[in-house]
């Protein structure tokens, strides 16, 4: 009998077909309130699950006594209680690298959109507010030859640095747990303290994973260090920022603007002040959201799942 696995996120049929060769696949395109009881029933004898965003902790694992592997279709894994998984000998995997280029493209889009006020001005044109003499009121700020500070120089950060350096002649500063000599050699990046980065950068891009150490990494103190002409970009996780402190910095003119793909609560609350600020560009957490990249992520998650349940070491085992 084939092992049972659960896929709880919509994926291409080719991915399901591949998994069907090895497993009995229970497929939920999305976990709705109505479908969750069925999901929990299927979980009782499932050996693997594949998806993203589902909180997997001790309470969840108590409902899955046969579970051997949890495969995230994402690079982030803050939804996983790794100590709880390790205590039970359950493997956990993610899908790094394959989304680096796509997320980096999104980040550059946020930088350009915020600096040049593209969403705001698009709305103005489409609502018939384009009048003679508008140009000066529509001024943005240049991106080229400016200073980009990247907090967290992992795979995505490196791709952002490459685009900024070669595409826009930007000076790259970065702060990371350790120096990255490769980005220094390839893109002329300079390693510096968090304070120096914040004080010198025209654009500050936060790209750290969410951990207990990085939660609210950007708070009142950090926004105070930034220049009033600077723009803040966050495409990591919403909780890496003290959202109230960011809102205050934007409302008081402490920083010029923000480009955000993530929020503390998602979907974002309809009364969130960020939604009413012209100097803030908001996206619905779509950094890796292209068909090509999501397909690669799902196939990589499936590869991890197959390897793990065949007694092999998954390519992307989280250690």
Q: What is the pLDDT of residues 127-153, one digit of tens each?
A: 998 988 777 888 999 999 999 999 999
- Cβ count within 10 A of residue 138: 13
Q: How far apart are CA 68 and CA 92, in angstroms?
A: 9
Instruction: Say what the pLDDT of residue 142 is.
Output: 98
Matching residue, tokens 């902790």 = 57
Of 3.40.50.720, 3.30.360.10, 3.40.640.10, 3.40.50.150, the CATH number of 4-98+291-309 is: 3.40.50.720
Q: How far apart are CA 80 and CA 34, in angstroms?
A: 24
Displacement of CA 27 from its chain's centroid (Å):
25
Q: Residues near 75 by Cβ (< 8 Å), separated by ≥ 6?
A: 94, 95, 96, 97, 99, 156, 288
Out of 117, 163, 175, 237, which one is annotated catalytic? Answer: 237
pTM of the model as a whole:
0.92
In sign, the C-alpha dihedral spanning 269, 230, 236, 11 is positive
CB–CB of 32/318 below 8 Å?
A: no
Q: To the nearest whole number, what is the mean pLDDT of the chain?
A: 96
Out of 182, 195, 224, 266, which one is annotated catalytic? Answer: 266
**Share above pLDDT 70 across residues of the chain, in percent, rounded to a whole number:** 100
Tokens of 115: 């600096």
Instruction: Say what the pLDDT of residue 132 is.
Output: 81
Instruction: Say what the pLDDT of residue 134 is.
Output: 78
Q: How far apart are CA 259 and CA 233, in angstroms?
A: 5
**Share above pLDDT 90 across residues of the chain, in percent, rounded to a whole number:** 93
Q: pLDDT digits over 76-97, tens only?
A: 999 999 999 999 999 999 999 9
Q: pLDDT digits over 259-313, tens only?
A: 999 999 999 999 999 999 999 999 999 999 999 999 999 999 999 999 999 999 9
Helix (H) / strand (E) containing 58? helix 58-61
Residue 159 has pLDDT above 90, yes or no: yes
Instruction: Say what the pLDDT of residue 232 is.
Output: 98
- Cβ count within 10 A of residue 300: 23
Of 1.50.10.20, 3.40.50.300, 3.40.920.10, 3.40.50.720, the CATH number of 100-282 is: 3.40.50.720
Q: How far apart are CA 144 and CA 127, in angstroms?
A: 30
Instruction: Say what the pLDDT of residue 218 is.
Output: 98
Is 285 an annotated catalytic residue?
A: yes
Q: What is the mean pLDDT of residues 51-55?
A: 94
The CATH 3.40.50.720 domain(s) of the chain lie at 4-98+291-309, 100-282
Instruction: Say what the pLDDT of residue 133 is.
Output: 78
Q: What is the mean pLDDT of residues 162-166?
A: 98
Residue 199 has pLDDT above 90, yes or no: yes
Is 237 an annotated catalytic residue?
A: yes
């Amino acid at each position: 009998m084939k092992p049972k696995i659960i896929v709880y996120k919509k994926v291409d049929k080719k991915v399901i077909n591949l998994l069907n060769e090895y497993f009995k696949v229970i497929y939920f395109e999305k976990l709705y309130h109505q479908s969750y009881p069925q999901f929990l029933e299927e979980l009782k004898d499932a050996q693997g699950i594949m998806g993203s965003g589902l909180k997997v902790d001790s309470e969840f694992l108590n409902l899955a006594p046969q579970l051997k592997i949890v495969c995230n279709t994402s690079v982030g894994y803050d939804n996983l209680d790794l100590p709880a998984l390790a205590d039970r000998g359950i493997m956990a995997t993610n899908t790094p690298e394959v989304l680096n280029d796509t997320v980096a493209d999104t980040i550059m889009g946020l930088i350009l959109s915020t600096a040049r006020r593209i969403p705001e001005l698009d709305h103005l044109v489409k609502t018939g507010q384009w009048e003679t003499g508008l140009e000066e009121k529509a001024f943005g700020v240049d991106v080229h030859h400016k200073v980009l500070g990247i907090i967290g120089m992992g795979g995505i950060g490196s791709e952002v640095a490459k685009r900024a350096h070669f595409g826009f002649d930007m000076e790259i500063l970065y702060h990371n747990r350790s120096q990255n000599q490769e980005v220094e050699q390839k893109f002329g990046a300079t390693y510096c303290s968090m304070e120096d980065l914040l004080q010198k950068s025209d654009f500050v891009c936060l790209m750290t994973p969410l951990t207990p150490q990085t939660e609210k990494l950007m708070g009142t103190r950090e926004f105070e260090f930034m220049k009033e002409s600077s723009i803040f970009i966050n495409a990591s996780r919403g909780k890496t920022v003290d959202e109230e402190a960011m809102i205050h910095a934007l409302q008081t003119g402490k920083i010029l603007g923000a480009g955000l793909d993530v929020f503390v609560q998602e979907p974002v609350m309809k009364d969130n002040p960020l939604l009413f600020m012209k100097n803030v560009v908001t996206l619905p957490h779509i950094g890796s959201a292209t068909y090509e990249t999501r397909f690669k992520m799902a196939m990589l998650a499936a590869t991890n799942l197959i390897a793990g349940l065949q007694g092999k070491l998954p390519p992307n085992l989280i250690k």
